[in-house]
Amino acid sequence: MRLPGFARRSIATRLFLTAAALSSVVLLLASIFFTAYYRREAEEIFERRLDVYLRAIVADVSESGQEGRTGPGQLGNPQFELPGSGWYWQITRMDDAAHEIKASRSLFAERLPKLSELGVPAEIGGSRRGYAVGPDGRRLRIVERVIDAGDTGIYLVQVAASSEEIEEQIAHFRFALIIAFATLAIALAIVAAFQVSFGLRPLRLLQRELTSIRRAEREGISGTYPNEIAPLADELNLLISANRDILERARTQVGNLAHALKTPLSVIVNEADAAPSPLADKVREQAHIMRDQISFYLDRARAAARGGALGAATQIAPCVEALLRTFTKIYGDREIAFSGEVRPELRFLGERQDLEEMIGNLLDNAGKWATSAVSITVALEPSSSAASRRELIVTIDDDGPGLAPHLRAQATERGKRLDESKPGSGLGLSIVVDLAAAYGGALELDDSPSGGLRAQLRLPGL
CATH 1.10.3470 describes domain 13-169: no
Instruction: Write down the domain spans for the chain.
Output: 13-169, 230-305, 313-461
Per-residue pLDDT of the chain (462 residues; tens, 9 = 90+): 455 555 566 777 888 888 888 888 898 899 899 989 998 888 888 888 888 888 888 877 766 654 444 433 456 678 888 888 888 888 888 877 767 788 888 888 888 888 888 888 888 877 888 889 888 788 888 888 888 877 777 888 889 888 888 888 889 999 999 999 889 989 988 888 888 888 888 888 887 877 777 666 677 777 777 887 788 878 887 887 777 777 777 767 766 776 677 777 777 877 777 777 888 778 878 887 777 777 766 666 665 555 555 556 788 888 889 889 888 888 888 888 888 888 888 888 877 888 888 888 889 888 888 888 889 988 888 755 444 567 888 899 998 888 887 777 777 665 444 444 444 444 567 778 888 887 788 888 888 888 888 888 888 887
| CATH number corresponding to 313-461 | 3.30.565.10
3-state secondary structure the chain: CCCCCCCCCCHHHHHHHHHHHHHHHHHHHHHHHHHHHHHHHHHHHHHHHHHHHHHHHHHHHHHHCCCCCCCCCCCCCHHHHCCCCCEEEEEEECCCCCCCEEECHHHCCCCCCCCCCCCCCCCCCCCEEEEEECCCCCEEEEEEEEEECHHHCEEEEEEEEECHHHHHHHHHHHHHHHHHHHHHHHHHHHHHHHHHHHHCHHHHHHHHHHHHHHCCCCCCCCCCCCCCCHHHHHHHHHHHHHHHHHHHHHHHHHHHHHHHHHHHHHHHHHHHHHCCCHHHHHHHHHHHHHHHHHHHHHHHHHHHHHHCCCCCCEEHHHHHHHHHHHHHHHCHHHCCEEEEECCCCCEECCCHHHHHHHHHHHHHHHHHHCCCEEEEEEEECCCCCCCCCEEEEEEEEECCCCCCHHHHHHHCCCCCCCCCCCCCCCCHHHHHHHHHHHCCCEEEEEECCCCCEEEEEEEEEC
